[in-house]
């Protein structure tokens, strides 16, 4: 119980620190001056909250769901993605889909880990791979989302094992092995959304630069 309490506290502190780092004065000023951006962030947070509330699983805590954070990170950048994820978590708290004691861990697993992975994959792709529209779609959206889904399940499996919530074999049989299944729908949904956006609304995607990706 002590280790679980320590985990809750440390993850909550991590959550607060990352939100403070992301929501700096520049972000707040930009948000206050742009009504369309405010609406976009609110709609995105509602979508993410909806995705996170739709869960499938056999046993309590051994559930899977679509994360959607790769798309959010590519569209808004990591700072606004952090803000949107925070708003989604607040909505889940309000509607009792999430307990306050779960806030920190859920934030790290569902939001901060996928945001970090998605943004780092984008930066690595932009720096080291050909700046081509298909590279952006396949690597930054499809593969990045697949990696996020697999890492999310791996992280949660390790966490459940450390908490001694279930025996390892039960976690593996009913949860960890689902990483082999969930990566594809996660990758497909994120890949399709980003593909549609860069075709019809490329100016909505902050990390997509026409002069770089469409000049090849």
pLDDT, one tens digit per residue, over 103-135 is: 999 999 999 999 999 999 999 999 999 999 999
**C-alpha atoms less than 13 angstroms from C-alpha of 189 in its C-beta half-sphere:** 18
DSSP 17: H
Q: How far apart are CA 96 and CA 195, in angstroms?
A: 34
At residue 57, the 3 state secondary structure works out as strand
Domains of the chain, earliest start first: 2-213 (1.10.1760.20)
CA dihedral 205, 206, 208, 211 (to 10 degrees): 120
pLDDT given at position 2: 43
pLDDT, one tens digit per residue, over 49-74 is: 999 998 887 777 788 999 999 999 99
- The pTM score is 0.93
Give the pair of three-digit tokens for residue 53: 């509330």
Q: Quickly state the pLDDT bin for 163 (edges 50, 70, 90).
A: confident
Give the pair of three-digit tokens for residue 178: 């689902």
Q: Quickly state the pLDDT bin for 4 (edges 50, 70, 90).
A: low
């Amino acid at each position: 119980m002590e280790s679980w309490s320590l985990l809750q506290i440390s993850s909550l502190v991590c959550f607060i620190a990352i939100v403070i780092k992301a929501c700096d004065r520049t972000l707040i000023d930009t948000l206050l001056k742009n009504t369309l951006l405010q609406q976009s962030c609110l709609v995105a947070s509602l979508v993410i909250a909806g995705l996170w509330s739709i869960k499938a699983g056999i046993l309590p805590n051994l559930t899977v769901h679509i994360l959607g954070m790769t798309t959010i990170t590519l569209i808004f950048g990591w700072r606004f993605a952090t803000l949107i994820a925070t708003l989604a978590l607040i909505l889940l708290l309000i509607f009792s889909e999430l307990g306050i004691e779960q806030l920190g861990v859920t934030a790290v697993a569902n939001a901060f880990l996928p945001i970090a992975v998605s943004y780092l994959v984008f930066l690595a792709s932009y720096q080291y791979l050909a700046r081509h529209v298909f590279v952006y779609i396949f690597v930054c959206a499809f593969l990045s989302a697949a990696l996020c889904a697999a890492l999310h399940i791996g992280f949660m499996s390790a966490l459940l094992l450390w908490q001694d919530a279930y025996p390892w074999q039960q976690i593996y049989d009913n949860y960890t092995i689902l990483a082999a299944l969930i990566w594809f729908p996660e990758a497909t949904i994120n890949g399709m959304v980003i593909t549609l956006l860069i075709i019809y609304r490329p100016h909505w995607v902050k990390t997509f630069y026409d002069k770089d990706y469409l000049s090849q």
